[in-house]
Structure 1
């Protein structure tokens, strides 16, 4: 059935305008993005099919171009649009972090880190540099690949923190395994960085591990 043939209360665009975006399902939101379906399949049905094939929105947004091209109804144009939407959401969350202190809006920090790090197939270790009012100065990916005590160099982290005139830092990295629990290597890295940065009166406020949609905070666990 064509979407135009549906009652207005069931049409995604009209529903969004009248009831708000939070009332729409993942498939309905994706249908608005797709705009049109394909022969014999309307946009909502196509969206439902794509979510079924990919198993989640996260998998759909993180799929590489070669995988997107295999999905019926998608192609290079839709891939670039998906990536643009994803990047816009990250930049929106980054602005939230810059506008408020991390203590006034901790959810913005975890939302931004989750959007940035989840779904990556490789480990990324990053730092959020904060000023003396705990507002975000900038963020930076410091290391890529398997993260362990040997691959994270406190000297390089200290140089970067001093370059950005950071008064405090929040570290973050992802676990592609999907298990957010900190390893002994994670704890060792954090202690080494705390000790090194402490010599320059730079505080380590937290180390956050992202795995899938989960975040584990060292500060909340009492590990910092």
Structure 2
């Protein structure tokens, strides 16, 4: 099926290619064109980005270029020069960034005792999920559902959507019983089994499901429910 003139034109645009194929598949020229946004009086944006790149022998030289050097390039005014420097500096800071870890899970027992203090006085059920890497370091801790006093109906889809987004390898699910009694209900057990099966399908381990009561907890791993 052939493309219309308009579709062909859009297909060639860096922004459209970025949306369709991802930024990692664009050339230096196309990425720079997206940053510059517009061309100059005599050049379209792709031509301008190519001129900027050919003005320097390497990307490193562009990275350390001063505003004075940038504005010497035809079509690059002070505004574009400042924007380029800002993008380059932000890229440097991103390269130095790292994912914050929120501690390491040593055991269900240690986690259960810690979460009793945090969750024992909740008047509604809260479903909390800890997202872990392969070293059991906590990448994210998030409450994904707050339910009624006696039931939690969170869908596994939401739990695993967040897991995929933060590239978690494992999850630990925790919820409280406002009654103070941590014994799992039939619904709790069925929900846990469903989570485990869903996790197997997408390659994310459900390590445990803890139920927090007033002064105690139940681990479905420790009690061989999972």
- Give the TM-score normalised by structure 1: 0.52
User: For residues 181 and 114 of structure 2, what CA distance do their matches in structure 1 show?
Assistant: 19
State whether residues 170 and 205 of structure 1, in contact with CA within 8 Å, keep that contact through their aligned partners in structure 2: yes
2:164 matched to which residue of 1?
162
CA deviation map 1:85-112 (0-9, x unaligned) = xxxxxxxxxx9x9443434xx4441233
Deviation, structure 1 residue 135: 1.4
Query: Residue 179 of structure 1: which of 166, 181, 198 is its match?
Result: 181
2:206 matched to which residue of 1?
204
1:114 matched to which residue of 2?
116
Query: Residue 102 of structure 1: which of 99, 106, 113 is its match?
Result: 106
Alpha-carbon RMSD: 2.1
1:128 matched to which residue of 2?
130
Deviation, structure 1 residue 148: 4.5
Cα gap change, 1:131/1:152 in structure 2, threshold over 3 Å: closer, same or farther? same
Task: Could you list the structure 1 runs, at least 4 aligned residues long, displaced by more than 2 angstroms after superposition.
Answer: 97-103, 146-149
Task: Show structure 1 runs of 5+ residues with no match.
Answer: 1-94
CA deviation map 1:5-59 (0-9, x unaligned) = xxxxxxxxxxxxxxxxxxxxxxxxxxxxxxxxxxxxxxxxxxxxxxxxxxxxxxx
State whether residues 102 and 135 of structure 1, in contact with CA within 8 Å, keep that contact through their aligned partners in structure 2: no
Q: Which has the larger radius of gyration?
A: 2
CA deviation map 1:54-83 (0-9, x unaligned) = xxxxxxxxxxxxxxxxxxxxxxxxxxxxxx
Task: Show structure 2 runs of 5+ residues with no match.
Answer: 1-99
